Chain A
Amino acid sequence: MRWLLLKDLQILKRSPLLTALLVIYPIVLAVLIGFAVSRGPEKPKIAFLNQIEAEQGLELDREGGFSQSEAFEELCRRVDCVTVADRDEAISKVEEGEVLAALILPEDFLDKLQAQLTGAGLESAEIEVYVNEDDPVKARLVDDRIKSLITEANLVLSDEISAQLLTYLDVLVEGGEFSVPLLGEFDVLGLERTQQILTAIKQDLNGPQRQVVDQVIQFAELAGDNLAFADELLGSVRQPIAVQKEVVSGDVPPLDTFAVSVAIAITLMFVTVLLVAGSLALEREENTFARLTRGLVSRSALLVEKIALGTVCSVVVALVLLGVLELFVNLRWERLPMILAAIVMTGAGFAAMGSAIGVAAREVRASALAAFALTLPIAFLSLIPTGTISEGLYDVIRVVTGAFPFRPSLDALSAGLSDAGDLPLNLAHLALLTLAYFAIARVALRRFA
């Protein structure tokens, strides 16, 4: 069998297209996946027109206030700001597709905000947004990004308004200086001081007058105590929904590990299935199958040799892929034995499936077509996450994809690369599939010559 394996490797070496497929494809895929998992999403380009006066800010009672320049710096950290001179230029850039959207802050924006903060006005401050919705995907992206920015801005302003209100409440409870725009400053007595004064006066009163003062003292005490809860109350109003996340099931691998697993599984699926299916079909096309199986090699041994070929190539290709991915992602090389076990069984599973396809298709081109037609939909189905479709349909898909090596390979590789998932179970699943596809190929081989 080793001579046949050597022969197949020699043939592989002399097939430039196949060699390129085996070497270049995983490297290119690894680089792309590496960039994808190691770099964040690109910032969307947004035209930004600020019509507010340069020096104008938002005046707040508390220290620091709300600086216009700081807010814009924060905004431009989140998006790629393209400064424009006027509204026409902003709209033109959106129309021509130079930017995804234009954001215009009208000159009265901060005045309206200030009015809300001081209670001098209730009119909402408006931001003008211009978007080009020719591309529904881009439109969705821009909508999401702008909504997110506005929500965050509202949250920041809500904080500021809450802080301002708390300042007022503190003055009401404790007393002190109180400033009202246009009207000037007032000295407020405060509930606590009112209570103290009334308690002192009460000593000199008798009868019904003392009872009335007692009622006022009780009211001042009650009001003071209740207003002290305002801080927590305003906090809960600002963020009424709090999230407490706890994972109760689903041993999920990190996202970059999952991306690496997908890259390896897809690469090995194509490379190994195509290689083994094509190699077996080639034995028939070159008329060597009948010569080999006429006493030189048993049919089972020939199948084992092809599966071994696929497995060897899988290990080489996967290691090349991992080597390149190491440049982008920190792989846990201390788990190499587990990673290798997953790769070997993945290779064997795909190779066995490839052998069944090669025997059934009988011709190299037909086997390549069959390999693509069979593996691609299975890969897509295997990547459908739970909860995105109905439970019944998901169960059916699980059963169907469980009959092919892609899903258990993905799970085994994820479990090998991290400690998420059940590695032995998935390796056993792959071993079972390898035997099943071997048996199918062996039966079909009777009609192969």
Chain B
Amino acid sequence: MPGTSTPKPRTRRKSEPALAAEGLSKSYGERAALRDVGFEAARGELLAVLGPNGAGKTTMLAILAGIRDPDAGSFETPGGEIGWVPQQAALYRRLTVAENLKLFARLEGADDPDATVEAMLEQTGLAERRDDQVSTLSGGNQQRINIAIGLLAEPSVLLLDEPSAGLDPAQRIKLWEFVSSLAKGGTTVVYSTHQIEEATHYGDRLLVLADGEKLFEGTFPALRRQAGARPKGQSADPDPEADFVRFLQKKGH
């Protein structure tokens, strides 16, 4: 599990955003899944898209990934391509780790697929398991390969849809160490989660969605300030979850 200490705000925002979205809207029939959402993410920034179930997180990431078309709005990535990692591992379970990487490297049009595979195996720390079928890997290792495939095109922005879902605490920690190393390398990472601790601990900034609307964009201390003071009698210990719930209540959710 992520640590429970008060997260330190990290600001890596540069003048030109790596990803900028504006007025994104999407409806499924009568139901509006996303309403006029806009935000920016800087190069090397970890942006946590936070919100309860049905908030519109997956829809927004699907639009940014190009899987769904928005009804309105637009986005741009001046720095290059967007890589996308679906919530559940999108891998061929009967193929080996190396075969999966090589297939997608070829489909991505890599100049030297073998060299790309070697680099990815090194980066994910799964070189020793290169010839193992994916079905024999743990959920955490499958998610690493899943992310590695998202990185094959060397994207400037990486979208992760609830990357730690279904992982045990140890696997989560390993996964976030890997994701953090990507951000340190300059990749902008936008990830969705509904766990406040995961968002505050690993994210540089938060983008809070609820019922398809953007409620907040900024650092966690700023969100806590908007949430207001805790009611009398409550513990003074850091409790991001309580702060987040208070914030949502204040916003009418």
A83 to B77, CA, bound (A): 94
**Which of B93, B95, B99, B149 is A291 in contact with, Cβ under 8 Å?**
B149
**Which of B88, B95, B104 is A287 in contact with, Cβ under 8 Å?**
B88
- Interface residue A147 (Cβ < 8 Å from any Cβ of B): no
From A10-18, A205-213, A425-433, the one touching the partner chain is A10-18
Contact A296 B104 (CB under 8 A): yes
Contact B93 A286 (CB under 8 A): yes
Contact B94 A287 (CB under 8 A): no
- Interface residue A3 (Cβ < 8 Å from any Cβ of B): yes
A297 to B91, CA, bound (A): 15
A10 to B94, CA, bound (A): 8
A360 to B149, CA, bound (A): 28
Contact B93 A297 (CB under 8 A): no
- Interface residue B115 (Cβ < 8 Å from any Cβ of A): no
- Interface residue A7 (Cβ < 8 Å from any Cβ of B): yes
- Interface residue A64 (Cβ < 8 Å from any Cβ of B): no
A287 to B65, CA, bound (A): 15
Residues of B within 8 A of A290 (CB): 67, 86, 90
Contact code string A286-305 (vs B, CB < 8 Å = 1, else 0): 11101110111100000000
Contact code string B117-145 (vs A, CB < 8 Å = 1, else 0): 00000000000000001000000000000
**Which of B67, B84, B90 is A288 in contact with, Cβ under 8 Å?**
B90
Distance in angstroms from A101 CB to nearest chain B CB is: 57
Distance in angstroms from A364 CB to nearest chain B CB is: 12
- Interface residue A374 (Cβ < 8 Å from any Cβ of B): no
A288 to B85, CA, bound (A): 11
**Which of A11, A291, A296, A297 is B94 in contact with, Cβ under 8 Å?**
A11
Kindly report which residue of chain A lies nearest to residue B85, judged by CB atoms: A291
- Interface residue B107 (Cβ < 8 Å from any Cβ of A): yes
Contact B107 A297 (CB under 8 A): yes
- Interface residue B108 (Cβ < 8 Å from any Cβ of A): yes
A296 to B150, CA, bound (A): 12
Contact code string B58-78 (vs A, CB < 8 Å = 1, else 0): 000000011100000000000
A3 to B107, CA, bound (A): 8
Residues of A within 8 A of B103 (CB): 3-4, 7
**Which of A288, A296, A449 is B92 in contact with, Cβ under 8 Å?**
A288
**What range describes how many residues of B lie at the interface?**
20 to 34
Kindly report which residue of chain B lies nearest to residue A6, judged by CB atoms: B103
Contact A294 B94 (CB under 8 A): no
Distance in angstroms from A9 CB to nearest chain B CB is: 11
Contact B88 A10 (CB under 8 A): no
Interface residues of B in 39-72 (CB under 8 A from A): 65-67
Contact code string A276-287 (vs B, CB < 8 Å = 1, else 0): 000000000011
Residues of A within 8 A of B94 (CB): 10-11, 14-15
**Which of A4, A10, A295 is B66 in contact with, Cβ under 8 Å?**
A295
A296 to B103, CA, bound (A): 11
Residues of A within 8 A of B86 (CB): 287, 290-291
- Interface residue B89 (Cβ < 8 Å from any Cβ of A): yes
Distance in angstroms from B101 CB to nearest chain A CB is: 12
A3 to B93, CA, bound (A): 17
Given contacts A14-B133, A287-B90, contact A294 B95 (CB under 8 A): no
- Interface residue B230 (Cβ < 8 Å from any Cβ of A): no
Residues of B within 8 A of A15 (CB): 94
Residues of A within 8 A of B93 (CB): 286
Q: A4-B103, A14-B95, A286-B92 are in contact. List 17 more A-B contacts (CB 8 A).
A: A3-B103, A3-B106, A3-B107, A7-B95, A7-B99, A10-B95, A10-B99, A286-B93, A287-B86, A287-B88, A287-B90, A287-B91, A290-B67, A292-B107, A294-B67, A294-B84, A297-B107
Residues of chain B at the chain A interface (Cβ within 8 Å): 65-67, 84, 86, 88-95, 99, 103-104, 106-108, 133, 149
Nearest 9 Cβ contacts at the A-B interface: A287-B90, A291-B90, A296-B107, A14-B94, A3-B106, A11-B94, A288-B90, A287-B88, A7-B103
Q: List, sorted by A's number, 18 A–B pairs whose CB atoms are closer than 8 Å.
A: A3-B107, A4-B103, A7-B92, A10-B94, A10-B99, A11-B94, A286-B92, A286-B93, A287-B86, A287-B88, A287-B90, A287-B91, A291-B149, A294-B66, A294-B67, A295-B66, A296-B104, A449-B67
